[in-house]
Amino acid sequence: MSGVKPGETVTLRIQRDGAEQTVQVGTKASNDDPPRAIMGIIIEPKLELPVDITIDTGQIGGPSAGLAFALDIIDELGPTDIDHGEKVVATGEIALDGSVHEIGGIEQKTIGARKAGADVFLVPDANAEGARKYADGLRIVPVSTLDEALHALATG
Active site residue 87: no
Q: What is the dihedral of CA 85, 121, 135, 92, to 10 degrees?
A: -160
Catalytic residue (one of 30, 109, 133, 144):
109
Instruction: Name the catalytic one among 2, 28, 30, 64.
Output: 64
Nearest-5° Cα angle at 81, 75 to 82: 70
Measured in residues, the chain has a length of: 156
User: Known catalytic residue: 109?
Assistant: yes
Q: Which residues contact 57 (CB under 8 A, 6 or more apart)?
A: 65
Q: How many CB atoms lie within 10 A of CB 73?
A: 14
Residues classed as catalytic: 64, 109
